[in-house]
Copies of this chain bind each other. A is one copy, B any other.
Amino acid sequence: MACHLAIAGVTGAVGQEFLSILEERNFPFTTLKMLASSRSKGKKITFKGKEYTVEELTKDSFAGIDIALFSAGGGRSKEFAPAAAKAGAVVVDNSSAFRMDPGVPLVVPEINAEAIKAHKGIIANPNCSTIIGIVPVWPLHQVNPVKRMVVSTYQAASGAGAAAMAELEAQSREILDGRKPTCNAFPYQIAFNCFSHNSALGPDGYNEEETKMVKETRKIFNCPDIAITATCVRIPVMRAHCESINLEFADPMTPEKVRELLAAAPGVTVMDDREHNRFPMPIDASGMDDVLVGRIRQDESLPDNRGINIWVAGDQLRKGAALNAVQIAERLLEL
């Protein structure tokens, strides 16, 4: 079960994470093509002891390719993913370009792996904050339907790419040295600050990150009427997102039941140590595959024990992006 694999956007933060994860999981491939924009053409990347030369991503890049992992931005996905699919590859696309396309499966393998089968050459990887939030909500929703979710996010710089992570570091140094922070990757100071997510705002005042969470969750859960509201915020953290999630269930739910269900759920690690006030933190989640869940409490502000609060942390570059895409690719190999 091996394949001819391509990675589009290999030099980016998620592209580099693709390589780590493919190596760690010993993903079986016969050939590997590394693709990026013309800027990175000719760069050498050593992977599993072999040196690869980065080629320019073009519409002709995909002859003979079985699976193409894309993380090169929405514009490039729109331009090149259909060509890759036409050439016979299955694209697993990390951008938002095709997520809400009714003909494109939007997949979190722990939730809706079976949707993969319906693909027509493109499978979409959901947005990072959506994936990290819903992996632990799904096993609860299966047992006791979630009627409403109120989500507030604490999102890392990595979601805006490698340049944003470098900017957080550079700004921190500038501020510690008493200098004015330089803003390029982000519109506002990220070091020692936080701000409402820097994606475009719709006419309803919600930014795209928030709207994605609502729409993508409904599609992945195949539950168009689940009520969701989100407030998405960037905080000065490198590469793991946290989320404060308030859940309203159809029927009574206890923290004990939530803990029991999550302890048995795939892709989830419960870290809920009340005795030591030890709950998931970004530095715990960084480099981890699982979404960490803690602060599991009854929300007494809802009647009949129908409310539960949880706090989650997940690696934005791994489960939030590259890992989820590689897990989809692994499922593709099993078809």
Choose one: B173, B196, B274, B281; the contact of A194 (CB below 8 Å).
B281
Asked whether A187 is an interface residue with its Cβ less than 8 Å from the other chain, the reply is yes
A176 — which chain B residues lie within 8 A by C-beta?
169, 172-173, 176
Choose one: B189, B195, B277; the contact of A279 (CB below 8 Å).
B195
Q: B233 and A301: CB pair below 8 A?
A: no
Within 8 A of B (CB), among A217-246: 227-229, 231, 233, 235-238, 242, 244, 246
With A176-B176, A196-B295, A227-B302 as contacts: A188 and B246 at CB distance below 8 Å: no
User: How many copies of this protein are present in the complex?
Assistant: 2
Asked whether A49 is an interface residue with its Cβ less than 8 Å from the other chain, the reply is no
A11-19, A37-45, A126-134, A197-205: which lies at the interface: A197-205
Asked whether A297 is an interface residue with its Cβ less than 8 Å from the other chain, the reply is yes
- Minimum Cβ distance to chain B for residue A153 (Å): 9
Q: B236 and A301: CB pair below 8 A?
A: no
Residue in chain B with minimal CB distance to A170 = B176
- Minimum Cβ distance to chain B for residue A288 (Å): 14
With A242-B233, A281-B188, A307-B229 as contacts: A194 and B301 at CB distance below 8 Å: no
- Minimum Cβ distance to chain B for residue A313 (Å): 9
A300 — which chain B residues lie within 8 A by C-beta?
204, 227, 229
A333 — which chain B residues lie within 8 A by C-beta?
none
Residue in chain B with minimal CB distance to A177 = B173
Choose one: B205, B282, B297; the contact of A204 (CB below 8 Å).
B297
- Minimum Cβ distance to chain B for residue A58 (Å): 34
Q: B173 and A229: CB pair below 8 A?
A: no
CA distance A302 to B235 in the complex (A): 27
How many residues of chain A are within 8 Å of chain B by beta carbon? 56
- Minimum Cβ distance to chain B for residue A277 (Å): 6
**Binary contact readout A261-297 vs B (1 if CB under 8 angstroms, 0 otherwise):** 0000000000000100101011100000000001111
CA distance A334 to B318 in the complex (A): 60
Asked whether A63 is an interface residue with its Cβ less than 8 Å from the other chain, the reply is no
A302 — which chain B residues lie within 8 A by C-beta?
148, 227, 229
Residue in chain B with minimal CB distance to A181 = B283
CA distance A204 to B307 in the complex (A): 13
Q: B311 and A196: CB pair below 8 A?
A: yes
Asked whether A315 is an interface residue with its Cβ less than 8 Å from the other chain, the reply is no
Residue in chain B with minimal CB distance to A187 = B277
Choose one: B187, B227, B301; the contact of A301 (CB below 8 Å).
B227
Q: A246 and B150: CB pair below 8 A?
A: yes
CA distance A314 to B285 in the complex (A): 29
Closest 4 CB pairs of A and B: A227-B301, A152-B152, A152-B244, A205-B297
